[in-house]
Chain A
Amino acid sequence: MQLISPEDREKAFHSVKKLDAIQKQGLAVRYHVEDFEVHDRARRFLEAFAAILKHTNYRVALDQYVRLSAKCSRCTVKCQVFQATGDQDDIPCRRSELLLDVYRRHFTISGVLRARLLGDPGLTDETVREMAEAFYNCTACRRCHFECPMGIDHALLTHLGRYILSEIGIAPRALVVSVREQLTGSSGNTSAVPVPALLDTLEFLSEEIKEGTGVDVVFPIDEQGADYLFLPAVSDYIMEADTLMGGAAVFRATGDRWTIGTGYFDGINYGLFYNDQILEHVLRKIHTEAERLGAKKLLMGECGHASRVAKFFYPTFCGEKQPRPVINIMEYTHKAWRDGKLKLKPNVITERVTYHDPCNLARTGWILEQPRELLQAICTDFVEMTPNRRDNICCGGGSGTVSIDEIRPYRTLVGGKAKAEQIRATGAKYCVAPCANCKKQLRELMEDQGIDCQIVGLHDLLYKAIDFESGDTHGIVD
């Protein structure tokens, strides 16, 4: 275990919040929270908990976990936050126990009886405050889940804890503001990109590709009946031009019909991070757009959480008998390359390249080998981080914490410390991180930790290696 230095700790846990805001809200968390009803928080927490238990499926897991939790502390080895702080409040099991204790005390018969006997007053405001802090220290990377002999999923409990907290008004302002714009704002997406700006960007990207490669690549807009509705993290349209150009170039090579919908073009879904209601409403927006355009499949961009939400929750909330298949663009590109529709020039990237597995894609074993095979096809010097694949270490900005700018020192000094060491050890010039959140976090991490490594998307590199000449042009004439 390598603890952070006392100076780093000072910086990481320094709060930028004003004292009067902390006093007014009675909440000393480092992230900003919009004003909410402060009085009687513990009671309202229990009411929200009861309502959630009544309508959702968490109860079955809670029942199981309160019985089994063995507190063996094997999870300590896997938690990059605990490994950095050594702070006992950061042990995954202990964090989960905060919530499990509330469940045990208030929602199981034995707990209620024991409390009556012992005169236990029950949930206090202090515990609510503790949870507000603890559940946002966790990046919900699920790495500890696979080290738990009892199979307790601490990320599920983090998700539930945040959900309950958000129902009483405690949620990071950064996430709340984005979601409000996405669901009720005029732009309808988290980065508040208006449609004209989107169209400008796409036109600019087309010109850029023409200039760079000499081929015409279009970004199809609002095409009816396309095979794929493309949904990247909307921030890609602002920050990740190369990733988008790479994606478009792949489609130019394969000739498949894809489209970007002007009705809704954002894959981001912060609901996964703190509220099931938001999760569902955002997915319904995607569904509405897919229906409007008659798209056959959903194609998620290089974004871990967006892909996971779409793949694992789209069938839940947009439930027809046959929900649309959801695929990630890396799967698509890999398949096209395998089928010979996409030609890649070998040995184009000569610098050392490494690959970061986004937790949401790799932890379940969904996307592991596809990007690696593609990278090995175009790179001369591809190295792995250790550990990798399912056992990868989180970038430190998982579960939406990357969007909370005021906790950047915490993310780069504590949450991302293990990742920084990993990347430093590879000596790579490029680190491929096919996830909008990971990219932002890793860039800040490289900057704050002083590591000379460029963070790119997979399609950024593929773009440099796509062979337009020898590939079938599918009847498209340049």
Chain B
Amino acid sequence: MESWIEFGRGPLFRITFSLMLLGLLRAVALTIFGMAEAYRRSPDKIINWREVRRQTFAWLFPVKRLWRARPLYSTLSFLFHLGLLLVPLFLAAHVLLWKRFAGFAWFAIPQSMANILTGLAIMAGIGLFLGRLLNPEARKMSRALDFAWPLLLVIPFVSGFLCSNATIGANAYQPLMILHIYSANLIMLLIPFTKLSHCVLAPLSQTVTAIAWKFPAGAGDRVAATLGYADMPSWIPKARLERPAPKTMCGEAVAK
């Protein structure tokens, strides 16, 4: 079992961590490339950067906004994020691991603070799950993964908390550590491909939206031409009635 632990936090961690970084890098690169392309296509380069910046930072540090809508849920979400960001990066044991495997490290937060943050994150994670389950609107909209995420994210916290507060016996320690390490690795693998990619993409949202509101000139005419209505104004549905459907496009729309 010891070797499983060593493998999970050694070579496996290095692989999943690199994959996560590469995946996130790809997501950011694609988004930035998409934005640049869209920006290039629009003749209008005027973007209200002040507004974009204002909104972006307001959501990066949303303390003031929590109370405006679903206050309890939002506050829990904030605490959850706080734990998710700080504990994995700054827990003393994690910092030591970095030192051991990578040769460099950074400062660590005190264990008592880590304990508090972990406790908050666990409670918040369960709270978020319940908040989604008990709010009829959120429940109706959510998919299975939306419900699963807070619980999945809580697993490494619970197991890690139990391991670090060594009141548990040696028999329980190893399975819990394995659970801790492998669930964390799984989460890291999933991050780039799921909505958790918002950890890097969300700060780009306001810019994306601002750019998406910039339209390329002549796009409307080209759309109409592609659909086979080049020679008649597309705002006359009657004209479209008299014309057979265009045959140029295939039925199954193509993925990019």
Q: Does B187 contact A (CB under 8 A)?
A: no
Contact A316 B211 (CB under 8 A): no
Of the listed residues A91, A277, A364, the one surrounded by the most CB atoms of chain B closer than 10 A to its CB is A277
Contact A153 B209 (CB under 8 A): yes
Q: Does A222 contact B (CB under 8 A)?
A: no
Contact A88 B137 (CB under 8 A): yes
Residues of the B chain whose Cβ atoms lie less than 8 Å from the Cβ of A216: none
* Cα–Cα distance between A365 and B27 once the two chains are bound (Å): 31
* In the complex, residue of chain A having the shortest beta-carbon distance to the beta carbon of B131: A72
B115-123, B155-163, B168-176, B235-243 - the one binding chain A = B235-243
* Cα–Cα distance between A277 and B218 once the two chains are bound (Å): 8
Contact A315 B146 (CB under 8 A): no
**A277-321 near B? 1/0 per residue, CB < 8 Å:** 111110000000000000000000000000000001101110100
Contact B204 A71 (CB under 8 A): no
B12–chain A nearest beta-carbon distance, Å: 25
Contact B236 A180 (CB under 8 A): yes
Residues of the A chain whose Cβ atoms lie less than 8 Å from the Cβ of B227: 47-48, 51, 167
Chain A contact residue count (CB 8 A cutoff): 84
Residues of the A chain whose Cβ atoms lie less than 8 Å from the Cβ of B142: 71
* In the complex, residue of chain B having the shortest beta-carbon distance to the beta carbon of A66: B195
B164–chain A nearest beta-carbon distance, Å: 30
Q: Does A176 contact B (CB under 8 A)?
A: yes
Chain B facing A: main interface SS: helix
A97-146 with Cβ < 8 A to chain B: 97, 106-112, 122, 145-146
Contact A37 B31 (CB under 8 A): no
With A56-B223, A77-B70, A280-B220: A50-B240 Cβ-Cβ less than 8 Å? no
* Cα–Cα distance between A73 and B138 once the two chains are bound (Å): 5
Contact A34 B137 (CB under 8 A): no
Give chain B's interface residue range (CB within 8 Å of chain A).
35 or more
Contact B254 A88 (CB under 8 A): no
Which among B55, B74, B140, B235 is the interface contact of A275 at CB below 8 angstroms?
Answer: B235
A57-65, A198-206, A339-347 - the one binding chain B = A57-65
B158–chain A nearest beta-carbon distance, Å: 23
Which among A35, A59, A316, A365 is the interface contact of B217 at CB below 8 angstroms?
Answer: A316
Which among A52, A93, A109 is the interface contact of B141 at CB below 8 angstroms?
Answer: A93
**A31-60 near B? 1/0 per residue, CB < 8 Å:** 001111100100110111111101111111
Q: Does B213 contact A (CB under 8 A)?
A: yes
* Cα–Cα distance between A306 and B40 once the two chains are bound (Å): 26
Q: Does B68 contact A (CB under 8 A)?
A: yes
Q: Between A and B, how many residue pairs show CB distances below 8 Å?
A: 240
Q: Does A238 contact B (CB under 8 A)?
A: no
A154–chain B nearest beta-carbon distance, Å: 10
Q: Does B226 contact A (CB under 8 A)?
A: yes
B168–chain A nearest beta-carbon distance, Å: 35
Contact B42 A57 (CB under 8 A): yes
Contact B235 A109 (CB under 8 A): no
With A91-B137, A280-B221: A176-B62 Cβ-Cβ less than 8 Å? no
Residues of the B chain whose Cβ atoms lie less than 8 Å from the Cβ of A70: 146, 195, 198
With A73-B141, A276-B219: A51-B44 Cβ-Cβ less than 8 Å? no
B71–chain A nearest beta-carbon distance, Å: 10
* Cα–Cα distance between A70 and B132 once the two chains are bound (Å): 11
B62–chain A nearest beta-carbon distance, Å: 7
* Cα–Cα distance between A76 and B74 once the two chains are bound (Å): 13
With A36-B241, A78-B69: A156-B253 Cβ-Cβ less than 8 Å? no
With A68-B202, A91-B137: A171-B237 Cβ-Cβ less than 8 Å? yes
Residues of the B chain whose Cβ atoms lie less than 8 Å from the Cβ of A72: 70, 73, 77, 138
Contact A184 B37 (CB under 8 A): no
Q: Does B11 contact A (CB under 8 A)?
A: no
Contact A167 B234 (CB under 8 A): yes
- A interface residues with partner B (beta carbon < 8 Å): 33-37, 40, 43-44, 46-52, 54-61, 63-64, 67-78, 88, 91, 93-94, 97, 106-112, 122, 145-147, 149-153, 156, 166-167, 169, 171, 176, 179-180, 183-184, 275-281, 312-313, 315-317, 319, 323, 364-365
- B interface residues with partner A (beta carbon < 8 Å): 27, 30-31, 34-35, 37-38, 41-44, 46, 48, 51, 55-56, 59, 62, 65, 68-70, 73-74, 77, 135-138, 140-143, 146, 193, 195, 197-198, 201-202, 204-206, 208-209, 211-224, 226-227, 233-238, 240-241, 245-246, 249, 251-256
7 tightest A-B CB contacts, nearest first: A277-B220, A151-B205, A319-B43, A61-B212, A60-B34, A77-B69, A57-B38
